[in-house]
Amino acid sequence: DTGVSQNPRHKITKRGQNVTFRCDPISEHNRLYWYRQTLGQGPEFLTYFQNEAQLEKSRLLSDRFSAERPKGSFSTLEIQRTEQGDSAMYLCASSFDQRQRDTQYFGPGTRLTVL
């Protein structure tokens, strides 16, 4: 069990560019979550996968955001036409559904800065 990993750890981009983040969950965890955390705030839910199916999306996830988990393992989060307001820490978490009392384990996050 190597924990949840995220890449890159830091990303600096210019406004209008596209960025993609990757999350590798703990092996055999069937649930994967994305959250966004801005300065001084708690994490806010973005979206959630059960295996490869995306089951819930927050209204925070605008049309510029897309997430995939093609084989039910790793996941990617893409932001198109980035805006300065997208600057935040993007956190990934994974869990294993066991009697519906799963616990989420978080990765170190990807810090995005949009100039």
Partner 1 sequence: AQSVTQLGSHVSVSEGALVLLRCNYSSSVPPYLFWYVQYPNQGLQLLLKYTSAATLVKGINGFEAEFKKSETSFHLTKPSAHMSDAAEYFCAVSVNRGSTLGRLYFGRGTQLTVWP
Cβ closer to partner 1: 17 or 41? 41
Longest Cα–Cα distance in the chain: 44
State the nearest-atom distance from the C-beta of 1 to partner 1, in Å.
Answer: 14
Least CB distance from residue 59 to partner 1, whole Å?
Answer: 13
49 vs 114, beta carbon nearer partner 1: 49
111 binds partner 1 (CB under 8 A): yes
Contacts of 9 (CB under 8 A, 6+ apart): 108, 109, 110, 111
Residue ranges in the chain assigned as alpha helix (H): none
The answer to whether residue 95 forms part of the interface with partner 1 (CB under 8 A) is yes
The nearest distance, CB 16 to partner 1, in angstroms, is 26
Instruction: Tell me the C-alpha to C-alpha distance, in Å, between residue 3 and each of 25, 28, 89, 108.
Output: 7, 11, 18, 10
Q: Are 32 and 69 in contact (CB under 8 A)?
A: yes
Residues lying near partner 1 in the complex (CB under 8 A): 4, 6, 31, 33, 35, 40-45, 48, 50, 55-56, 91, 93, 95, 97, 100-109, 111
